[in-house]
Structure 1
Amino acid sequence: MIKTAARALAAAALALLPLATTVPAHAAETLSLHDAIETLPQAAESRDGYERSKFKHWIDEDKDGCNTRAEVLIDEAFTPPNIGPGCRLTGGSWFSYYDDKVVDGPSGLDIDHMVPLAEAWDSGASQWTAARRQAYANDLDAERSLVAATARSNRQKADQDPAQWMPPAAHAQCPYLADWVGTKLRWSLTVDRDERNALRRLAAGCENTDVEYERV
């Protein structure tokens, strides 16, 4: 898996640093979904000043010819696509867990920001630097920050939070809540009152669901 390989290379690079070098790190944390929801800081939301262009996305961070969108598609495919010149992807198969659909070929897929860019802006990203917003929009280091989903489900979701939209597939509900809450915790994003109340209500049937995250 590309993300796993990237993490292994990063760990190897850190091992070569001089002992005197201090490398800031955050330990991975695991909470029950209930506790994770209560850990989220609460604040009012504001979309003032939001523009999608303030989150530079689909970059080629590692300069291997494949941008973030392609990296996610390659990583999440259960039948690997063919990778042509310029990282053009053909063939391959994916499972869109939002709506329980198998998709053949990459053209029917969108890459969904688990917490949409506009929602992130509302929840604290408006105060970030441009560099941090770019890192958020291209986060390949967390398994569920970016998700390959059918174009239909992604566009139905748009910029809505769980108070307004949840995946239509019943089995997707608890994993989606964990992915949403984990992403907000990872990036220290807030929730408003309606969102927290919706998360509490929706999580009532997810007793055995944990949230795993690592803050950045």
Structure 2
Amino acid sequence: MIKTVVRALGAAALAVLSTLHTMPTAQAAAVAAPSYTLPLANAVNAIPVAAEDRAGYDRKQAFGDWIDADRDGCNTRAEVLLAEAIAPPTVTGRCTLTGGLWYSWYDDTEVTKTDIDHMVPLAEAWDSGASQWTRQRRVEYANYLGDDRHLVAVSQRSNRQKSDQDVSTWIVPDNPSQRCRYLADQVAIKLAWDLTVDAAEQAAMRRIAAECPDTDITVNPVP
């Protein structure tokens, strides 16, 4: 994966990664590689391919619940709802939300009740490398607010249709621009978190990326 990033960024990335290699482990762990931009098709090819394995997966045990990372009374779910509302909900007490309106771009509809979707589902992340992470890292993944592509307020219908499927078996309905956006966001998250794809997933990604020749993506590596 490091070689892939270096090829995408050139000498600047090599300098940063060399610095990370020589600094103490705890300090290096807190520093992310710089963001980089590349064509979607190239990004798809940059994701390592590996067989998936769901052995031992238990969602709650592996990834925990929504947390209140900044201790402002609103957990991650509420933070996403507040950030993405097109008509804001009323907030009372310790971040109890009522009312509100959201645009679910998965199915091009406005909704008053939403689910919060992990762009790369938790089970898919587990299959693709997260099973090897610490539990703390998995809880961070489940609650990550550092990239607005990571968690998305969508209709309950579309979220439940998608469930834990990857792009080889589910993608947003036939709207070319939204299909490109969905794939681009999935790929950006996989690269940011050093996750893998299996052979069927890579084939589907390549097929869809071919429909999106003018799509570039920016990857924000997570420290």
Q: TM-score, normalised by structure 1?
A: 0.86
3-state SS in 1 of match to 2:165: coil
What is the Cα deviation at residue 109 of structure 1? 0.3
Mapping of residues 63-82 of structure 1, within 5 Å = 63-82=71-90
Question: Shift of residue 91 of structure 1?
Answer: 2.1
- Aligned-residue CA RMSD (Å): 1.3
Q: Does 1:111 align with 2:116?
A: yes
Structure 1 position 25, deviation (Å): 3.0
Question: Conserved in 2, the CA contact under 8 Å of 1:42 and 1:193?
Answer: yes
SS at match of 1:190: coil
Query: Which of 44, 47, 50 pairs up with 2:54?
Result: 47
Q: Which residue of 2 aligns with 1:193?
A: 199
1:100 and 1:169 in contact (8 A); partners too: no
After superposition, the C-alpha distances for 1:28-77 in whole angstroms (9 at most, x for unaligned) are 11111101001001100000000001102310010000000000000111
| Structure 2 residue 106 is matched with structure 1 residue 98 | yes
Q: Is 1:183 matched with 2:189?
A: yes
Check conservation: 1:99, 1:169, Cα contact below 8 A: no
In structure 1, the partner of 2:213 is: 207
Range 167-176 or range 93-102, more displaced:
167-176
Does residue 150 of structure 1 match 2:155? yes
Residue aligned with 2:131, SS: helix
% identical aligned pairs: 55
Poorly superposed stretches of 4+, deviation over 6 Å? none
Deviation at 1:133, TM superposition (A): 0.2
Q: Give 5+ residue unaligned stretches, structure 2.
A: 1-26
- TM-score (normalizing by structure 2): 0.84
Q: Residues 69 and 169 from structure 1, CA distance in 2 versus in 1: closer, same or farther, beyond 3 angstroms?
A: farther
Which amino acid is 2:168 matched to?
A: A
Between the aligned partners of 1:122 and 1:57, the Cα distance in structure 2 is: 19
